[in-house]
Amino acid sequence: MGHTITEKILLAHTDKDAITPGEFILARVDIALANDVTAPIAIDGFKKIGAREVFDKDKIALVPDHFAPNKDIKSAEQCKIMRDFAHAQDITHFFEVGAMGIEHALLPEQGIVVPGDLVIGADSHTCTYGALGAFSTGVGSTDLAAAMATGLVWLKVPESIDFTLNGTLQKWVCGKDVILFIIGQIGVDGALYKAMEFSGSVIENLGIDDRLTICNMAIEAGGKSGIINPDEVTEAYVKERLPEGKEYTLYTSDDDAMYSEKYEFDLSALDPQVSFPHLPENTHSVTEAADVKVDQVVIGSCTNGRITDLRVAAEIFKGKKVAKGVRTIIFPATQQIYKQALKEGLFEIFVDAGCAVSTPTCGPCLGGHMGILAKGERAIASTNRNFIGRMGHPESEVYLASPAVCAASAVKGSIVHPEEIVR
């Protein structure tokens, strides 16, 4: 019997001859990741177990991105704990403000994660890196503390679900729409503790940015991970960023691999999607959200803050103005993306349209800072969650959509299909 890509990667990180779904394993970690919310807890746990040195200073990444630049004294103290630990342990991959980016955009961009890796992170959206053919998953800060000390993590081998996505996507439909549609079909617990494996002609024709978006939101369906078999698109992306001396392994699923479930969708007729409050599964066609007025628009985050996302938004904003009374904030996900957008003239388009452009930060996505909603306010965002109070007051509302829908809605002042703005 064949194996899935997930099973192959996990097996390669053990000393076992074989593994099966449901089995508990002790696996070697290639990258252990934390941010300014979760790292201080992990660092405290690291010290409490008596650890003195991390298992490998090159295999730990610390990224202060959630409340950085520091929004208050408490967040400054959190970041200082990270900074002091990173310096004391001589951590190679510590990214301070000025070099920092949103963690799940930064690590692929910097070549820190490569195909075949086993990555754990004390952040639920660590599942993003499956787009590169790596197994990546979120863990608690206690598990991360143990991994930083030992280089090992205890995992249950997940079953896999196969999502075969065929057809040709329409103009203005992107990876965000694909994953919102899937979550709408199976629900927020439809892939509970399972590896969501994506394939088909739709995936083959998507760039890495869109693939990262799809895998990023696997957790919103309860997935243990999201993953895509690497191909020539993956290799081209990885080779462009591969640090000298770093190697990678391309694993792919066998034709006779076992899946707990299989889904097949033809997405040729898929419209841009919008997830209504207060769950990502509450997904509808953008036409069903017509004339829903918004107070704020957010374009960015680990889900949709990459250069292709900003280019799409700029295409819509060019020569237009944000509707009166709508606050529009754009967050490039990394400094490199920021620089590229500046070079291409995208910021001039955004500012001329009436948008505000921020340094990289997770701020508004988690209701941290840089765009908090007041009672009764409504936002449309290219972020990943729209739970009650996610972006501010418990009586505010968040709608999730692609950068294209967000930009068009900023111009209209209400949720709208991009084609109504760009003709």
pLDDT digits (tens, 9 = 90+) for 108-126: 999 999 999 999 999 999 9
Domain boundary among 215, 240, 265: 265
Tell me the C-alpha to C-alpha distance, in Å, between residue 155 and each of 28, 119, 246, 288.
Answer: 10, 12, 25, 41
Mean of pLDDT values over 17-35:
96
Statement: residue 423 has pLDDT above 80: no
**What sign for the dihedral angle of Cα 190, 195, 201, 207?**
positive
Mean of pLDDT values over 265-281:
96
CA 215 to chain CA centroid, Å, is 7
Q: Cis (ω within 30 of 0) for the bond into 278?
A: yes
> Which residues are within 8 A (CB) of 31 and not within 5 positions of it... i.e. 6 or more apart?
59, 60, 61, 107, 112, 113, 117, 118, 119, 120, 121
User: What confidence score (pLDDT) does residue 98 get?
Assistant: 87
Tell me the C-alpha to C-alpha distance, in Å, between residue 51 and each of 62, 92, 120.
Answer: 18, 19, 19
Label the pairing between strands 93-94 and 60-63.
Answer: parallel
Please, what is the end-to-end C-alpha distance for the chain in angstroms?
Answer: 52
Statement: residue 367 has pLDDT above 90: no
Nearest of 353, 377, 385 to residue 216 by alpha carbon = 385
In this structure, the answer to whether residues 134 and 282 fall within a common structural domain is no
In this structure, the answer to whether residues 222 and 278 fall within a common structural domain is no
Q: For 294, how many CA atoms within 13 A lie in the half-sphere containing its CB? A: 31
In this structure, the answer to whether residues 321 and 364 fall within a common structural domain is yes
User: What confidence score (pLDDT) does residue 127 get?
Assistant: 96
Mean of pLDDT values over 51-76:
94
In this structure, the answer to whether residues 244 and 363 fall within a common structural domain is no
In this structure, the answer to whether residues 256 and 147 fall within a common structural domain is yes
Nearest of 254, 208, 258 to residue 21 by alpha carbon = 258
The pTM score is 0.94
In this structure, the answer to whether residues 69 and 181 fall within a common structural domain is yes
In this structure, the answer to whether residues 251 and 343 fall within a common structural domain is no
User: What confidence score (pLDDT) does residue 106 get?
Assistant: 96
Query: For the chain, how many residues are written?
Result: 423
Ramachandran sector of residue 290 (left: φ over 0; alpha: ψ -120 to 50; beta: rest): beta
- Domain with 292 in it: 274-420
Q: Cis (ω within 30 of 0) for the bond into 243?
A: no
Q: How far apart are CA 232 and CA 237, in angstroms?
A: 9
pLDDT tens, position by position, 149-208: 999 999 999 999 999 999 999 999 999 999 999 999 999 999 999 999 999 999 999 999
pLDDT band of 422, cuts 50, 70, 90: confident
Question: Which residues on adjacent β-strands are paired with residue 132?
Answer: none
CATH of the domain at 364: 3.30.499.10
Chain mean pLDDT for the chain: 95
Which DSSP category does 413 fall into?
S
User: What confidence score (pLDDT) does residue 90 get?
Assistant: 96
Domain boundary among 201, 233, 265: 265
pLDDT tens, position by position, 372-390: 999 999 999 999 999 989 9
Nearest of 7, 1, 3 to residue 225 by alpha carbon = 7
Q: How far apart are CA 405 and CA 422, in angstroms?
A: 11
Statement: residue 244 has pLDDT above 90: no
Per-residue DSSP letters for 60-115?
EEEE--SSTTT-SHHHHHHHHHHHHHHHHHT-SEE--TTT---HHHHHHHTT-S-T
Number of domains in the chain: 2
> Which residues are within 8 A (CB) of 348 and not within 5 positions of it... i.e. 6 or more apart?
none
Mean of pLDDT values over 322-338:
96
pLDDT tens, position by position, 46-60: 999 999 999 999 999
Helices (H), 187-282: 201-204, 208-216, 232-241
pLDDT tens, position by position, 339-356: 999 999 999 999 999 999
Mean of pLDDT values over 326-344:
96
Q: How far apart are CA 134 and CA 249, in angstroms?
A: 9
In this structure, the answer to whether residues 43 and 162 fall within a common structural domain is yes
In this structure, the answer to whether residues 100 and 236 fall within a common structural domain is yes
In this structure, the answer to whether residues 281 and 394 fall within a common structural domain is yes
Domain boundary among 243, 265, 287: 265
In this structure, the answer to whether residues 401 and 326 fall within a common structural domain is yes
Query: Which uninterrupted H or E stretch holds 26?
Result: strand 24-28
Mapped onto helix, strand or coil, the DSSP state of residue 123 is coil
Nearest of 115, 111, 82 to residue 97 by alpha carbon = 82
Query: Which tokens is 285 given?
Result: 């066609």
In this structure, the answer to whether residues 235 and 305 fall within a common structural domain is no
Q: How far apart are CA 75 and CA 71, in angstroms?
A: 6
User: What confidence score (pLDDT) does residue 291 get?
Assistant: 82
Q: How far apart are CA 384 and CA 381, in angstroms?
A: 8
